[in-house]
Amino acid sequence: MTDGKSPILSVRHLSKAFGSTAVLADVNLDVPRGSIIALLGASGSGKTTLLQALAGLVSPDAGSITIDGRDMGGVPAHDRPVNMMFQSYALFPHLTVSGNVSYGLSARGTPRAEREHLVAWALELVRLEGLGARRPDQLSGGQRQRVALARCLVMKPAVLLLDEPMAALDRRLRADVQKELKSIQRKVGATFVLVTHDQDEAMAMADFIAVMEKGRIVQFGPPREVYERPNSTFVASFLGTINLFAGVARAEEPSRVRLAADDGLEVVAERSASSGANPICAIGVRPEKVLVARQPTGLANDFAGAIEQVSYGGTASDVTVRLAGGRSLEATVANSTASAAAALQAGDAVHVGFPAPAGIVFSE
């Protein structure tokens, strides 16, 4: 899981309740050194509370946190080798950019010459050199975010904690800022733990995604694994769109699962090594794995239907196909050739299909 790198951050059996509500329930996590991990979950799933527990701003009821080989039990926030970039940035409005960035160093007692050197380094890193004398209200949202980032990086934390770092940014800016943040992380080699409720952001930025639900980490892995091999229908639906066939597994074949779906369809998928102990309850397929054709597809799963809706999306179009039994199937058709989706129209009789390996087998 960690590519042989020792984890810089380990969480064991961490629990926290506010009143009678369990907000963190037996959280276990290993973060490889020098990686970006995303805590991804819906609002209220406990992401911020976990981040604050790492920072020492929330004291857990049970469990342990180890950072850089040191047990954090009883270690106050200001003595932890972490820095937190808050969702609101929390810049000091009366201080200049340089003043904001050097604040933590001053508090730490770093000598002036070294402070100036480090502030210049951090401002160059976030491409704000020359703006050191400005005040936060003379900056754009994107620039304010970079000041907040510089203020953290200048402290050279072992782990940088970022709570929804893109939340205050214009949607159009986000993709660029995500790439830039990742490139800065690679440059300084720090470990980032990033909280987000945005699955696209988690996939674009993270080396590992920890999916949270109701205070638990329900899956942990690289983006590709979490997306391609979700371990539950919850994770599958949280990360993108999935067509689910709920039902009962029928024939016991060694390498394949044959499922009788609730609406009478038969669906075939490859049995995965990681199928859980629970009985199989569904087979799923991602829309981009579904082929739409005028004739039978010849694939292990093939259904006749009619196009209900085509929504054009530039790089690809989302096609909804209503099958004979009444169920709809979502397919994503790449617009890589001019003719690809242009030809498909609502009302057209089509076949949809997918090969057995494209099917994901669920037992929860």
- Report the residue number, 53 or 154, with the smaller CB distance to ligand ADP: 53
Give yes or no for residue 49 binding Mg ion (CB under 5 A).
no
Q: Which does 46 bind (CB under 5 to 8 A by kind): Mg ion, ligand ADP, none?
A: ligand ADP
Task: Supply the minimum distance, in Å, between the C-beta of residue 195 and ligand ADP.
Answer: 6
- Report the residue number, 34 or 44, with the smaller CB distance to ligand ADP: 44
Task: Supply the minimum distance, in Å, between the C-beta of residue 59 and ligand ADP.
Answer: 11
Binding site for ligand ADP (CB under 6 A): 18, 23, 41, 43-49
CA–CA gap between residue 325 and residue 194 (Å, rounded): 43
Task: Supply the minimum distance, in Å, between the C-beta of residue 17 and ligand ADP.
Answer: 9
Element (H, E) at 51: helix 47-55
CA–CA gap between residue 132 and residue 85 (Å, rounded): 19
Give yes or no for residue 196 binding Mg ion (CB under 5 A).
no
Task: Supply the minimum distance, in Å, between the C-beta of residue 117 and ligand ADP.
Answer: 36
Q: Which does 45 bind (CB under 5 to 8 A by kind): Mg ion, ligand ADP, none?
A: ligand ADP
Q: What is the DSSP string of 105-140?
A: HHHHT--HHHHHHHHHHHHHHTT-TT-TT--GGGS-
CA–CA gap between residue 116 and residue 99 (Å, rounded): 10
Choices 27-35, 40-48, 205-213, 290-298 (CB under 5 A): range interacting with Mg ion: 40-48
Structure tokens belonging to residue 262: 């609730």
Task: Supply the minimum distance, in Å, between the C-beta of residue 175 and ligand ADP.
Answer: 23
Least Cα distance to 50 among 89, 91, 84, 8 occurs for 84
Least Cα distance to 133 among 106, 103, 98, 102 occurs for 98
CB 83 within 8 A of CB 51: no
Give yes or no for residue 48 binding Mg ion (CB under 5 A).
yes
- Report the residue number, 41 or 284, with the smaller CB distance to Mg ion: 41
